[in-house]
Amino acid sequence: MRGEIAVPDRSLSVTGVAVPLLTAWGGSPDADLVFRFLVAHGPHDAEALRRELSMSRHRIAVALEELADSNAVRAASRPGRRGIDATIWHPRPPALVVAALRQRQLRAAQASLKVHRRLATLTELDPDLRVDMNAGMTGRPLHGLSRVRSRLGDLVDATRHEHLSMHPEPAFDRATVQASASLDHDLLARNVTVLSLGVPPSVEDITAAHTLELTHLGMQYRELPTLPAKMFLFDRRTVIVPMDPHDIAKGALEVAAPSMAERLAAWFMSRWSDARPPKSTTAAAVQLTPRERRVVALLAAGHTDTSAAARLGLSERTVAYAIRGVMERYGVQNRFQLGLVLGASMSTPDLAEDTKEKQ
């Protein structure tokens, strides 16, 4: 292949130690390079790796996450250090690493076979939908959550027209929301059509404000009572599906098959037409104190922290603390999200009266 160098051996010798080529067992080139360097030169922190290998901090972080997922490195704290150099990374013995990677590759092959069969028939999606697995399809496994997230970022960067996603989970944790936030914003900033199908959230879900913000920015979101699988479609050419339908942290399969993606997109749109926008229940889930309601009402009416504090006879710090407490209880990350979550409530009589009370 143009631009690539063929390496016939599955291992290379570094300072007399046979080091497995991690790329032969599903590892990324960055992870392979970082592991090889650690074996050759001993433990290093992330900043030292960045300098020595002339790689960006992001690439080093993703490579180390992938190696940690693969149990190829272990992290040790450095007393008295803070920030990026507070952790030093030790390579595990290459022989143990390659043995573990062989087992992972076997499990991935078995999981990929199940995914291929699921994609071939898709009976769980629709008995009438069939996909020809021989119609120019190529697939590859993505091992571990860090590798999945990194590849999703690459696909988002390459997406130009449309992104479709389906999420059967009723709740997401904060780390998942934060990881996807920048990708969602990037798509919307480039005017990519973004359609997302979900299910009604559970009481533990913290994504309501995030969803409201994205819909305000242009994402279209609808819900169905249940969904059969998690799936991402990029420009109707590439499909990402988890190896384990219930746990994407175990890895995913990337399938490049335009004909399959077209049919999956058509199926998605048929479900989309049956789905409905979510009912807003977030604002009613948290009870505000009288002071919090007055602060929120004044800020919604256009007041700053300073003018709201003057109206209520409070200090600016007290107003800021009140807003921060409300944000934490709603699980929002900024005042813009808080405004979206509370927007519907601002027309209710009690909040309206709070707004008028001091005017």
Helix (H, G, I), strand (E, B) or coil at 173: coil
Per-domain residue ranges of the chain? 11-92, 105-274, 282-357
Distance of CA 264 to the CA centre of its chain: 22
Q: Once rounded to an integer, what is the mean pLDDT over residues 234-256? A: 84
- Kindly report the CATH number that applies to the domain delimited by 282-357: 1.10.10.10
- What's the number of CA atoms in the CB half-sphere (13 Å) around residue 197? 24
Strands 193-198 and 162-166: parallel
Residue whose C-alpha is closest to residue 81's, from 46, 35, 51: 46
Helix (H, G, I), strand (E, B) or coil at 276: strand
Q: What topology does CATH give the domain 105-274?
A: Endonuclease; Chain A (3.30.870)
Helices marked H in the chain = 29-41, 46-53, 57-69, 94-121, 144-158, 174-189, 208-217, 258-274, 282-285, 290-300, 305-312, 316-330, 335-343, 349-357
Q: Is the CATH number 1.10.287.810 carried by domain 11-92?
A: no
Percentage above 90 pLDDT, the chain: 23
d(CA 312, CA 196): 42
pLDDT the model gives residue 350: 44
Taking the alpha carbons at both ends of the chain, their separation in whole angstroms is: 71
Helix (H, G, I), strand (E, B) or coil at 188: helix
Which range has the worst mean pLDDT, 128-142, 186-200, 231-245? 128-142
330 or 296: which leads in pLDDT? 296
pLDDT the model gives residue 351: 42
- Longest distance between any two alpha carbons in the chain, whole Å: 79
pLDDT digits (tens, 9 = 90+) for 109-164: 676 666 666 665 555 555 555 555 455 556 777 878 888 888 899 999 999 999 99
d(CA 227, CA 264): 14
277 or 137: which leads in pLDDT? 277
Q: Is the pLDDT of residue 218 over 50?
A: yes
Q: Is the pLDDT of residue 359 over 50?
A: no
Fold equal for 11-92 and 105-274: no
Q: What pTM, to 2 d.p., does this model score?
A: 0.59
pLDDT the model gives residue 227: 87
Q: What is the dihedral of CA 170, 172, 177, 180, to 10 degrees?
A: -70
**177 contacts 206 by C-beta, under 8 angstroms:** yes
- Report how far apart, in Å, the C-alpha atoms of 174 and of each of 41, 62, 64, 108, 254 are: 37, 19, 21, 27, 25
**244 contacts 220 by C-beta, under 8 angstroms:** no
pLDDT digits (tens, 9 = 90+) for 16-57: 556 778 888 778 899 999 999 999 899 999 999 999 999 998
pLDDT digits (tens, 9 = 90+) for 79-113: 777 766 678 999 999 888 888 888 877 776 676 66
Q: How many CB atoms lie within 10 A of CB 17?
A: 15
Structure tokens at 260: 């399959």
- What's the number of CA atoms in the CB half-sphere (13 Å) around residue 126? 13
